[in-house]
Structures are given as structure tokens and as C-alpha cells.
Amino acid sequence: MFDHCLYFNATALARIVEREWTAAYEPFGLTPQQGFVLRAVLKTPGMLNREIASLLCIARPTATRVIDGLLAKQLIARRPSTEDGREWHLFPTEAALAIDEPINAVSAALAKRLRGQLGAQVFDNAIGTLGKVRGKLT
């Protein structure tokens, strides 16, 4: 019935993928959004709140809530920006550095499993197509 509906197919896929990433990050006590923000901060220490929001394609208030959750878990620390007093640089804590390798390993294993289930070509084409569609609609 909804085979040609972008909304239906996109949200159905999002729910399936959300369950997969929720299960992957659950051992770390993180939501998928927290996991992705933490991985970004681990990869690029000193990122700004707005850079996180842009990277994840979420609103700045949403990014702030995710960051607040990571602060409460003592996985990131904020330092004020010298350029703009309303901005904060984000840095991983020692606790975050301790899970850097394991969280990236779990993420890589999940991506590898999904790629195996779908087949490399379908997986790569889907990621590329979804990125293009997202880019044209934003």
C-alpha cells in the first residue's frame, strides 16, 4: 500500500535502524544519539555545540540535550569558547577515552553485520542514496 511513499519507507527503516543502534550502545549506557555525539567528540576534541548539531542534522537545542546527558554521565567536559561566550568546546573525559576503542569496535561490527545482511553493493548504494536525498531536502 505504501511501497512508493518516502515517509513510510524512511520512518520504517529509521525504526529498524534505531533498534539496532540502541542495542549496540546499550552496554555503554548510551542512546544512539549519545553514542554518535561521543564518537564525534572523541574523534575531534574541541568541537562546538553547533558543529555537533550540524554533523548530526539535529536542532541545536536537541544537541544541547544530548550533550547534557553525556555531561551527566561524565563522558565529556565543556570549556567556554574564547571566540563566542555562548559556545562551548567539547572534550572527552578519561572515562570516554577508556571506551573509545570498544564503542568504535561495536559500531564497526554492527555496520559490518548490516552490510553483510544487505550485501555490500546494496548497503553502499543505500547509504549514498539516502545521503543524496537528505542533502536535496535540507
Residue 11 sits in a domain of what CATH number?
Answer: 1.10.10.10
Structural domain of residue 107, as residue ranges?
6-137
Alpha-carbon distance of 111 to 82, in angstroms, equals 38
Residue 2: the pLDDT is 80
Residue 87: the pLDDT is 85
Q: Which residues of the chain have pLDDT under 70?
A: none
Q: CA torsion angle for 29, 51, 44, 68 (degrees, to 10)?
A: -30
Answer yes or no: is 1 within a domain.
no
Model pTM score: 0.90
Long-range contacts at 103-106 (CB < 8 A, ≥ 24 apart): 103/25, 103/28, 103/30, 103/35, 103/38, 103/39, 103/42, 104/39, 104/42, 106/24, 106/25, 106/27, 106/28
The neighbouring-strand residues paired with 80 are 88
Residue 36: the pLDDT is 96
Report the domain count for the chain: 1
* Terminal alpha carbon distance of the chain: 27
Helices vs strands, H then E, count in the chain = 6, 3
Residue 31: the pLDDT is 96
